[in-house]
Amino acid sequence: MPGGVVFWEESARDGAQAKTLMTADFRVRLAHETGRVFGSDGPRHVVFAAGFPAVCGDEFEAVRQVAVEAEGAVSVAAVCRGAQRDLEQAVASVRGSRHARVMVVVPASEAMAQVMVHRTAAEALQAGVDLVKRARDLDEAVAVDVCLADASRADHALMAHHAQAMTGAGAGLVVLADTVGAQLPSDCREMFRRVRAEAGRDVVLASHLHNDLGLGLANTLEALAAGVRVVSSSWLGIAERAGIVATEQLLFLLARHADELLGPDTTPWWTPPDLTRLPVIARTVAEETGVPLTVTTPIVGTGVGSISTGTPFVHPELFQPYDPREVLGIAPRVVLTHLASARVVTAVATRLGHTLDREQTHAAMTWVKERAYRTGRAVIEDDAFADYLASLTHHHDGGTP
């Protein structure tokens, strides 16, 4: 489908370089849950990078398990270096799985080529063309993609020439990677624009953009604006160093703002994504990896849907860009902090089963603020406030406080 968006999901692969390790069973579960975001069209919209089989036998078996057990939920991919043995392992790990792919990492810049393969960039890229041919000879049913490492510091014309040759040799995708996450949005836009123009329409470009300067999302949007429709991302943004663009953020933006980001005549989805699945998936990834969801994590963080001050409590629609309950299935929560107004204190008390009069509300609000500053913690836990309210209302009813 022209204009269809595909997510190359990297949590299980590049996410490992964020010092996380997903079990094989969890990778299978995550692949299924990610695919379900798009219903029966998961394989059309998600390439799930299951791992790096050359790491060790356990990693090979984990990738193999995903290829077998997540078949039909997503398109499963294995990633490898540009070495014959690694390529053979990658193909073997996904062989027989429907929509299987391998991605071969090839250095594109002069500096990266010297470090990775001790060759010039032109020699490394030509070797990439040869690797595509070898992969196709190993198994014609396994699609082969090429990731051009350090594309952000490589020669555009050289990449375009070899991207065309790789496609001619049978490559499905050519991924341009900002491997070190140092690219500015204007430079990213120019890279994709020039390589796309010079490589020709037959070459399918994809993005893999790191977040070291906090620009992974902005750069991915620039790639999309340049016509790219296959984008690498990772749940919670987990990947090497500062990570890459977060799957949940990118999915949310494209689902809610496709016309503005992709153009009004674009049809990005076979099945539109179910955004209510995002918070649940994010929580499971956080639990598996130990990467926390914070109050400031966009889309899926603990602050989404929370209210702690007066005016947002009365008019929440003025203080949020979307309705969390309607869009994400996240119920609004009133959180008690030192900023609480009388309305907030009353609402939390009611939730805990207490009806306060005006005098009690004032006393409770004073207690909340004093406790916050005394403990140095902004949020007042429900248990502590419930204990205080029990004492307050008991005393009001004539009991001994």
* Three-state DSSP class for residue 262: helix
Mean pLDDT in the chain?
92
H or E segment to which residue 245 belongs: none
Is-contact 29 288, C-beta < 8 A?
Answer: no
CA distance 110 to 152: 11
Amino acid at 332: P
Tell me what the mean pLDDT of segment 234-240 comes to: 95
pLDDT at 320 (0 to 100): 79
Which amino acid appears at position 290 of this protein? G
Q: What is the pTM of this model?
A: 0.89
Average pLDDT over residues 15-24: 91
- Predicted pLDDT of residue 400: 44
3-state secondary structure (DSSP) of residue 163: helix
What the block records as the tokens of 262 is 């992709």
What is the tens place of the pLDDT at every residue in 294-332?
888 988 988 887 877 767 777 777 777 888 888 888 888
CATH number of 6-289: 3.20.20.70
Average pLDDT rounded to a whole number, residues 111-140: 95
C-alpha 199, offset from chain centre? 28
pLDDT of amino acid 395:
58
What is the per-residue DSSP string for 72-105? Answer: TTBEEEEEEESSHHHHHHHHHHHTTSTT-EEEEE
Residue 167 has pLDDT above 50, yes or no: yes
Please report, for the chain, the start and end positions of each structural domain, with discontinuous segments joined by +: 6-289, 305-401
pLDDT in tens, 51-110: 999 999 999 999 999 999 999 999 999 999 999 999 999 999 999 999 999 999 999 999
Beta bridge partners of 178: 209
Q: What is the pLDDT of residues 353-394, one digit of tens each?
A: 999 999 999 999 999 999 999 999 999 899 999 999 988 876
The predicted pLDDT at position 265 comes to 84
Inter-axis angle of helices 382-396 and 358-375, nearest 10:
140
